[in-house]
Amino acid sequence: MPNAASPPTTRVLDVLELLAQRGQSGPAPRLGDLVRDLGLTQATAHAIMATLCERGWAVRDPDHRTFTLGPALAAVAARAAAERSRHQPARAAVHRLAKDLGYPAVMTERVGDELVITTIDLGACQVADAAAGDRFPFAAPLGVVFAAWENSDGRRAWMDRGAITDPVLAERLDGLLTATRERGHTLERLDPAMAQAARAMASLRADPQAQPVRRAMDGVLAEIARLGLPSTGATDQDRRPVTAIAAPVFDPHTRQATASIGVHPLRALSARRADEIANHVTRATAAVNAAFDDDGRPASLDR
């Protein structure tokens, strides 16, 4: 992906990190300390601190003219800590699946229009087609387990991001999403190399330098999407590569699929074996989803 670093944003984050560091050890910094330690101009430091104080992310002591972190940032930090705590059962489920099934197991989280692998356990297999920290676009044919729980507009946007323009293919993909939602899990039957190609093509579409070959990449993505559709007339004797079997983890407030738990067999499996693995995965995610009440707190927590 192209470098998306923003110097102004970096300077603000540098200031917040310095305030946090000084809050743990040493005296609270003054404006001059920010200028000296971070290499900021006086005007830039003043503008940043004025904005942070106005939004409650920093507080200025008028007597000592020092700055500390503010209550608004504390609220954000508390929310972030709650989110991490909420996902702890999901991470534990990943490790259990890897141990019980012997296949790599992963937790993937949706961040805007991207999917990020945040937890991975290779299990006994010790071979995987992904790694923690990998990011790829939430665009067809990637992320079926998330798109299946979107409304019609969300599904259409998912297909648009994946350059699905053929109405027949779009209709078949919509049917796949509906079937996935009814089944409660996704079954990705693609050759591992083909799945990697899909992630690479979808990522390259976001690079402005790839504009001259965008049409060719769109065609490849559409063909991969077709290959990932279920074949008709398949029997239990048919063995096809299974890249991933995953089920959603829902946000208790919005009921949207914000994460998924899945396993990556990366080998040919019969329909019966794939169903056995899917049952393990759906039971694990059902337990994770049941672990929290409507307030997003552990269900066993006393009111």
Count CB-CB contacts under 10 A for residue 54. 10
**Per-residue exposure over 153-173, b if at least 16 CB sit within 10 Å of its own CB, e if not:** eebebbbebbbbeeeebbebb
Domain 7-75 is in which class?
mainly alpha
Q: What is the pTM of this model?
A: 0.66
H-helix or E-strand containing 287? helix 271-290
**DSSP-assigned states of every residue in 10-61:** HHHHHHHHHHHHHHHSSPPPBHHHHHHHHT--HHHHHHHHHHHHHTTSEEEE
Alpha helices in 152-270 (DSSP H): 152-161, 167-183, 192-204, 214-227
Does this chain's domain 7-75 share its CATH topology with 87-290?
A: no
Domain ranges of the chain: 7-75, 87-290
- HSE value, Cβ hemisphere, 13 Å, CA-based, for 206: 17
- As a whole number of angstroms, the distance between CA 156 and CA 160 comes to 6
Per CATH, which fold does 87-290 belong to?
Answer: Beta-Lactamase (3.30.450)
- pLDDT per residue as tens, the chain (303 positions): 444 557 888 899 999 999 988 877 778 999 999 999 999 999 999 999 999 999 999 999 999 999 999 998 888 877 777 666 667 889 999 999 999 999 999 999 998 888 999 999 988 876 666 778 888 889 888 899 999 999 999 999 999 888 888 888 888 889 989 999 999 999 887 766 667 766 766 666 666 676 666 666 666 666 666 666 665 555 555 667 888 999 999 988 788 899 999 999 988 888 889 999 999 999 999 999 988 654 455 443 333
DSSP bridge partners of 243: none
